[in-house]
């Protein structure tokens, strides 16, 4: 009996030691978790504060909250959530917080005020903290002011782009190589006549590039992507919806990832059809002028030289009383050759004058 009692006491003592060890480990883990969660709260880049739903008192704030609003932690802990709102927004906020049957993780947009009096737009989100009966609510804040400024700046840039696009008639396009998506910006329909439904969607097929230029253009763009060429200029003919074609100068850039893989092609198609056709006119006119110069140097100078020589012989023969009939016939023949040469020059010159665009270019 005595041994049984001793064993029972030892068992109770062992259980107590184990329970004590377990409690020490448990509370040590709880302390570690509390420290970890406190660090996560304090070092979170998003402004966060803990709100008491009943009193609206601010129970805790993190560093980002202090940095954004300009208050110290001690100052925040003496304030309520109403103090960071304009006077007109305080009563609606109080009603919102006390509203029953509110969904979890709800929020909205509001105007908040900093310590220096400046007001700005934020998005706030409520997260109820355990246990369910707790009145504590964790509130995360997202500063929308910079986003709104960025959106306004983007709007200004888009307006500027549209103005430049109207002035230059360039058509901007973008090809997403990762997702194989081709996007056309404003001006494509006005310049080339295609509706949005008929706008080409397959970049590498290039079905709207002139058949005679298509393979070469595809090859050039493949080389641009393969070599990660940052800037490029390509010229080719582009088919319009009415069946005609236009010369275009396509210039743009290739955006690549840090590892060198190609991400996006961005280009601006400039209509250079009038310029190209004018260049062709100049080339044709230069050819005509070279032909005229050749006629002048070969076919005009020969009969003209004959005429000068025959004229001298004719004068000498006439002074000596000789027969000038044969010389007169040769003179007539040379005059005919000279007339034919002049006629050919006039014909080529007439072709030049009749060539399209000469009247406009002078």
Residue that terminates a domain, selected from 249, 271, 293: 271
Residue that terminates a domain, selected from 143, 164, 190: 143
Q: Dig out the tokens for 55 from the structure.
A: 């009193």
Residue that terminates a domain, selected from 256, 271, 286: 271
Do 137 and 79 fall within a single domain?
yes
User: pTM of whole model > 0.85?
Assistant: no
Alpha-helix residue ranges (DSSP H) falling in 44-144: 63-69, 73-76, 87-98
- Please state the rounded mean pLDDT for residues 224-246: 92
Helix axes of 325-354 and 273-295: crossing angle, nearest 10 degrees? 180
The verdict on residue 356 lying in a domain is yes
Is residue 220 predicted with pLDDT exceeding 50? Answer: yes
User: Domains in the chain: how many in total?
Assistant: 3
The verdict on residue 123 lying in a domain is yes
Q: What is the CATH number of the domain that holds 71?
A: 3.30.450.20
Alpha-helix residue ranges (DSSP H) falling in the chain: 2-43, 63-69, 73-76, 87-98, 145-168, 188-192, 211-226, 273-295, 301-320, 325-354, 358-361
What is the predicted pLDDT for the residue at 356? 46
Please tell me the least confidently modeled range out of 25-29, 262-266, 348-352. 348-352
What is the predicted pLDDT for the residue at 345? 66
pLDDT digits (tens, 9 = 90+) for 90-144: 998 888 887 765 666 677 889 999 999 999 999 898 888 777 667 888 999 988 8
Please tell me the least confidently modeled range out of 14-18, 192-196, 331-335, 357-361. 357-361
Cβ(129)–Cβ(136) under 8 Å?
yes
The verdict on residue 222 lying in a domain is yes
Is residue 164 predicted with pLDDT exceeding 70? Answer: no
Q: Which among 58, 51, 50 has a CA at the least distance from the CA of 77?
A: 58
The neighbouring-strand residues paired with 247 are 237
**What's 266's DSSP letter?**
E
Average pLDDT of the chain, as a whole number = 79
What is the predicted pLDDT for the residue at 104? 62
Cα–Cα distances in angstroms (integers) from residue 57 to residues 64, 76, 78, 274, 285, in the given order: 19, 9, 8, 73, 88
Do 353 and 295 fall within a single domain?
yes
CA–CA separation, 252 and 267 (whole Å)? 4
Collapsing DSSP states into helix, strand and coil, what is residue 172? Answer: strand
Do 86 and 133 fall within a single domain?
yes
What is the predicted pLDDT for the residue at 67? 93
The neighbouring-strand residues paired with 245 are 239
Do 188 and 299 fall within a single domain?
no
What is the predicted pLDDT for the residue at 49? 94
Q: Which residues contact 77 (CB under 8 A, 6 or more apart)?
A: 58, 59, 60, 61
pLDDT digits (tens, 9 = 90+) for 303-358: 666 666 667 666 667 666 666 667 677 766 777 776 677 677 666 666 655 444 44
Collapsing DSSP states into helix, strand and coil, what is residue 242? Answer: coil
Do 132 and 156 fall within a single domain?
no
Cα–Cα distances in angstroms (integers) from residue 164 to residues 18, 167, 169, 233, 248, in the given order: 80, 5, 8, 19, 18
Percent pLDDT > 70 in the chain is 68
pLDDT band for 149, please (50, 70, 90 cuts).
confident
Q: Dig out the tokens for 45 from the structure.
A: 């880049």
- Please state the rounded mean pLDDT for residues 194-218: 88
Structural domain boundaries enclosing 265: 151-271
Q: Dig out the tokens for 341 from the structure.
A: 């040469």
């Amino acid at each position: 009996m005595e041994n049984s009692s001793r064993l029972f006491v030892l068992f109770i003592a062992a259980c107590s030691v184990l329970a004590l060890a377990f409690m020490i480990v448990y509370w040590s883990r709880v302390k570690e978790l509390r420290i970890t969660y406190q660090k996560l709260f304090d070092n979170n880049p998003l402004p966060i504060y803990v709100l008491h739903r009943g009193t609206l008192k601010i129970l805790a704030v993190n560093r980002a909250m202090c940095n954004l609003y300009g208050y110290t932690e001690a100052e925040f802990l003496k304030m309520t959530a109403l103090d960071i709102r304009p006077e007109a927004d305080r009563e609606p906020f109080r009603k919102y917080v006390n509203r029953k049957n509110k969904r979890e993780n709800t929020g909205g947009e509001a105007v908040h005020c900093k310590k220096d009096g400046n007001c700005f737009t934020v998005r706030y989100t409520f997260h109820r903290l355990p246990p369910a009966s707790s009145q504590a609510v964790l509130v995360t804040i997202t500063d929308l002011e910079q986003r709104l400024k960025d959106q306004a700046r983007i709007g200004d840039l888009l307006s500027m782009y549209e103005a430049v696009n109207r002035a230059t008639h360039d058509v901007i396009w973008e090809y997403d190589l990762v997702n194989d998506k081709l996007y056309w910006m404003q001006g494509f329909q006005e310049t080339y006549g295609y509706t949005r439904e008929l706008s080409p969607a397959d970049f590498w097929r290039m079905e709207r590039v002139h058949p005679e230029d298509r393979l070469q253009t595809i090859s050039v763009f493949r080389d641009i992507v393969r070599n990660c060429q940052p800037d490029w200029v390509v010229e080719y003919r582009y088919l319009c919806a009415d069946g005609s074609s236009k010369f275009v100068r396509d210039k743009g850039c290739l955006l690549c990832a840090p590892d060198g893989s190609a991400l996006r092609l961005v280009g601006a198609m400039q209509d250079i059809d009038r310029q190209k056709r004018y260049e062709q006119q100049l080339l044709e006119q230069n050819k005509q002028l070279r032909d005229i110069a050749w006629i002048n140097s070969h076919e005009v100078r020969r009969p003209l030289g004959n005429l000068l020589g025959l004229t001298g012989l004719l004068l000498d023969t006439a002074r000596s009383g000789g027969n000038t009939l044969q010389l007169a016939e040769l003179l007539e023949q040379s005059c005919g050759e000279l007339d034919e040469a002049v006629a050919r020059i006039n014909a080529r010159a007439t072709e030049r004058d009749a060539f399209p665009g000469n009247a406009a270019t002078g």
